[in-house]
Amino acid sequence: MKTSITALLLLLLMACSDSSDNSAPPAPEPPAPPPEPTYELSAEIKRTEYGIPHVTAEDWKSLGYGFGYAYSQDNYCVTMKEMVYASGRSAELLGEAQGNTGSDFLFRYLNGDDAEFEERFVNQLPQFSRDLAEGFARGMNRYREETGDANLAEGDYGCRDAQWLFDVTAINLFKHMRREALRGSSDNGTFRNALLSVEGPAEDGATGSLNEAQLSDLADSAAAAVSELQNLGRGSNALAVGSESTQNGGAVLLGNPHQPWFGAGAWYQAHLTLPGEYDVAGAALHGFPFIGIGFNKDVAWTHTVSLANRFSLYELKLNPENPLEYLYEGEMRDITPVEIVIDVLLADGTLEQQSFTFYESHFGPIANLKGVSSFLDGWPMFNGSVLAFRDANILTGIRGIEQWINKGKASDLQGYIDALASIGNPVFHEIAADRNGEVFYGELSAIPYITQAQLDTCVNGIIGPLLADATTNVIISLDGSTSECEWGDDPEAPEGSNLYGASQLPQLRTRDYVGNSNNSYWLSNAQQPIEGFPTIMGPVGYEGQQQFLRTRIGHLMVEERKLASDGLSDTPLFDLETIKGLMYANRVYGAEVTLDDVLKFCGASENEELSIVCGVLARWDRRVDVDSQGAQVFTELWKGFGSKLGGGFQGVIANDTFWRINYDPSDPLNTPAGIDLEVASNQTLLTEVLLKAEADLTSKGVALDAPWSEVQYLQRNNDNVPIHGGSGTMGVYGAISARLSEGGYVNPGSGNSYIQAVTWDESECPIADVILVPSQSTDPASPHFSDQTKLYADKRWVRFPFCEEDIAASQIGETVLLQE
């Protein structure tokens, strides 16, 4: 009965519950969580020892954003200053005294305004390239916004509170990259000056002819002027050793670019990762949003500066009745004036507009080479002509970003070679290796499509042959009156570029080794010469010609390592440690081939004034290690040889009277050698250069037998950091470029810069030992202002962490998540 009553009560309650005003309200719905914030840009930045940033992002713009920010933390002011010049605004922003109006005129002419530049160049690039650059620019701007102008870096490369700062755009970045690509052509000092020396047609227009003495003077002037084009301060060494020449049957690569240490063209280490698409470590040029020399999981690569032709001149035969017309295919064509106007900041703070007029032919702008020789001045010149300038790299610097990204994506050597087909490389030999044990050399860079047949027929008249002979084919002037001398059209090359396509350029793929030290392609492997190409592809150290001493010692060290005769290891062939030992050997090959004869001369000489300097050379160890004593004497001795006997642009002593064993094309690594002491002029020469070496060093306060550490050093805050290595022209593989000044070779400006030695084992992680000689940061207050410089002084290396666990093990500081 109780159960029935209870059930009845429950039913009554349930029946009333739907309509009862006294029922409890339903529980409120929990509030919706706030929406997750969305970010247009998001990048993760980790730093490992010595300040190396590792940037990871999920899209290209964010990757550039993180890299631009991390780079700016170390070197913001460096790239900002370069962008001032690349944008053609240096006189406007820095003032007439500090800026460069000539450079501004040139780059306003080449680039147009921002809208024109974007339309003509940037919009032709794939979207990922533009995204990467846009992100990098935004990262730089964010760094400035957060830091404030009052807190930016000080020092030689600082810009604290500078009035010339501005917000960076991707356009600025692309102009900066383009300017770097043109340093070997339009922006090279000789030809920049030539383009800016044009004054238009002369009223008198006097013409005539040159006598033999004047022609000889013109030739001498051209030979002297062309040396600026060489600029081996931007040289390099590269060596890639394949499975046939390594101890473990893999490959190992050594990259040793001799770039500037500071400012434009200097290196910055980084690791950039876009998961599943791009994962590359190494070094980027300042202000470039991608890795230039580096490695990924499977491939490593490096470059050396190539001295192949990057331009040509055209001789235009002017209309005697109208000097703004020239003969082409039997008809007259117009030369068109183009006026460029820039703003210039005067000393009183006001802006003044200044103008310059360029003159254009269909080949390119008119150039006046009066800076080379007064005989090449005038409109017209003595022979009734003017010269036009055509640049092979007008578009290459813009294409470069795409090529370098695609190289970084390669999973094997073939993929790397395929990436080179776009010819986005302005001036470099390509050297690469992969984990499968293959290695590659290629002169796959921007070279105008001028055939050897054209060189044989189109270099005619008076000026063309004279310039070609005087500069050993480095400056080529072609006949501008006929289409037969136009650059050709290779369907494999980028459309409209008139460059050689990849398959027609010198290259070698092997499992032995390849190497280059700025000579031509000819001896990329000493046992497998590359031959049969036109001189335009390698006029310096061309096929059969004498080679740089650095080229010779590089190949000889390879052969010695194969035989284990170099003292680096008792085991023949290469591994990571022996290739690093080769890099730091610091042998002076010029001493190896001449010093015995110098000392023989010293021993026979009755000139007591030579006793001290000869004694120092006798005790010297023939190296440029930090504890070497006397290297400075041989450095100045070799400089004396060069000034008296130098081989011009070829960079060698090509003098058969000097050498005891003359150059033999069949033995290019061992000849020439020795000094012919039977020749009286050589004895006189030795006396002069030895005494001058002693006098020059003494006048600068340098003891003849001081250790190299006290003679060659880099000043970093209060420290003088010793710098081993020495002049590349005297055969030092690890070249350092420094001039003798008060106290020694103080503050070298270029040479060994970013060095990498890369190999692989059975793991997924590449093994890379690296060093950035000038260190990561140009900020004197940074802990990374000189830390790697001091490692280099001790011949130490940094193991570059690539895989996640290695990055975690060497991380310094907190992970930064950069978003907006």
Query: Which residues participate in catalysis according to the annotation?
Result: 236
Would strands 712-716 and 235-241 be described as parallel, antiparallel, or unpaired?
A: unpaired
Closest CA to 361 of 385, 393, 395: 385
Counting other chains too, the contacts that 695-699 makes at CB distance below 8 Å and 24 or more residues apart are 696/636, 696/740, 697/632, 697/633, 697/636, 697/740
For residues 715 and 480, give the distance between their C-alpha atoms in angstroms, rounded to a whole number: 52
Provide DSSP, 677-730: TTSHHHHHHHHHHHHHHHHHHHHTT--TT-BGGGTEEEEETTEEEE---B-GGG
Query: Across-strand partners of 664?
Result: none
Q: What are the tokens at 785?
A: 């202002």
Would strands 336-345 and 750-751 be described as parallel, antiparallel, or unpaired?
A: unpaired
DSSP letter at 359 equals: E
Cis peptide bond N-terminal to 380, omega within 30: yes
For residues 779 and 94, give the distance between their C-alpha atoms in angstroms, rounded to a whole number: 21
Closest CA to 124 of 503, 620, 494: 494
Query: Across-strand partners of 294?
Result: 282, 301
Other C-beta atoms lying within 10 Å of the C-beta of residue 525: 18
The amino acid that residue 93 corresponds to is L
Place of tokens 């010692």: 553
Query: Across-strand partners of 241?
Result: 252, 513
Residue 126 has phi, psi (to 5 degrees) of -65, 155
The amino acid that residue 805 corresponds to is E
Name the packing angle between helices 589-604 and 680-699 (round to 10°).
Answer: 110
Helix, strand, or coil (residue 363): coil
For residues 820 and 810, give the distance between their C-alpha atoms in angstroms, rounded to a whole number: 28
For residues 775 and 772, give the distance between their C-alpha atoms in angstroms, rounded to a whole number: 5
State CA 351 to chain mean position distance: 35
